[in-house]
Every structure is written in structure tokens, then in C-alpha cells.
Amino acid sequence: MNEVTILATLASVHLIALMSPGPDFALVVQNATRYGRQTGLYIALGLSLGILLHSILSLTGISYLVHQQPMLFAVLQLAGGSYLFYLGFGALSASWQRFRSSNNASSNQEAPKEKETFVLANKRQALSRGFTTNILNPKALVFFISLMSSLVPAEMSLSGKSGALLILWGLSLAWFSLLAWLLSTSKLQKRIQSLAVYIDSLCGVIFVTLGFSIIYSSITMLVL
């Protein structure tokens, strides 16, 4: 295959993977619906930067070396799984508290202030959460190793490899930003306001389930 065909195939496979439900997708849905567009876009930027770093590490062979070290990879899995579990537990705890106080008028009055504080004071936190969620996901590491090793030949030109990195980062930023924008339109925000607690709960369950499965897998690798 020539480089144009390789890059087109790479873009197609990556776009399909981006649209598949996973921790990145759930993180954008949770934060864009709860905190609004600005936070959702910073989450999207953080996720895309994590994907860019994964792509660079895979392209340079560093991720492959990590994957070939069972102990090191198991520790990475444990860290990533624990972080996803932490996000899920936090989302479920917050959902439970909001559910209990849903009939409390004073709590409802404080909600806009909480949202404003998060958006204005924690842009860096939103960016960091998106980046950390992606870069600590061991499934992402394995995915990009497979993607790069199977589609990007070692003899590919520097411009071709640079184009591959630009495509992976650009598609990621565009997709997650579009998702955040669509979920934070005024019409949709009004419709899903009453469903926010359920969306948070669902995302929390996804994070906890993924985190637990990764932790279990890493502990099994360490024990064996």
C-alpha cells in the first residue's frame, strides 16, 4: 500500500474506535451533560493529547517495550484500573448524594454556583482529567501498539509518520469536541437536565466495571 492508502485506512480504523463506547466516550458524555460545553471541550482536548502521546510512544516503540515487560505492564494496568475505579466511585457517590437531595430546594439553588465554579476555576482540572483517563488506560496502550505495528510500516517516511500522528490527534480532537458540543446545546441541556443523575450513574457504572476488570487482570498477572 502507498502512504495515502495507509493513512486513509489508519483514519478509518481510528474513527471507528473513537465512536465505540468506552471510558473516553463516557467521560465526555458525563462532563459535557453535567458541566456544559467549556468543560466538555477541555475534556476533549485532554483526551486527544493523551491519544497523541500514546501514538508517539507506539510509533517510537516505547509502548511495545512496556507491553513486553509483564511486571511493568501489570503495574501500569493496576494504576489505570484504579484511576478508572476512582472516577466511577466518585460519580456514583455524587449521583447518590444528588438523588437524596433532589427534593431539597436549597441544594437546587446551589447547583448553578457549583457548575460555574467548576467551569471557571478548573479548566486545567478538566484538561488533566481527560489526559489522565486516556493515558492511564492500558487498553488504549495495547490498541495503539496493534494499530501502529499493523498499519504503519517501519520504512514509512518521516512526513508519512508525522501525517499519521496529525490524523490520530486531529480526528480525536474533532470527534470528542463535536460530541461535547452536541451534548451541551441549550435545547439538549434542558431536556437532559432531569436525567443528569442517571447519566452520571451510568457513566459511574461503566468506569467501575472497567476499572475492576483491569485491576483484576493486573493482580492476576502479578500473582502468576
Instruction: For residue range 140-198, list pLDDT tens digits in order.
Output: 988 998 888 888 888 888 999 999 999 999 999 999 999 999 888 877 777 776 677 77
The confidence score (pLDDT) of residue 102 equals 64
pLDDT in tens, 128-139: 999 999 999 888
Instruction: Determine the pLDDT at residue 71.
Output: 85
Q: What's the grid cell of residue 194?
A: 432531569
| 175 against 91, higher pLDDT | 175
- Indicate if the pLDDT at residue 116 is higher than 50: no
Residue 111 has pLDDT above 60, yes or no: no
pLDDT value at 10 more than 80:
yes
Residue 115 pLDDT exceeds 50: no
Give tens-digit pLDDT for 29-78. Answer: 888 888 888 999 999 999 999 999 999 999 888 888 888 888 888 888 88
Residue 203: the pLDDT is 84
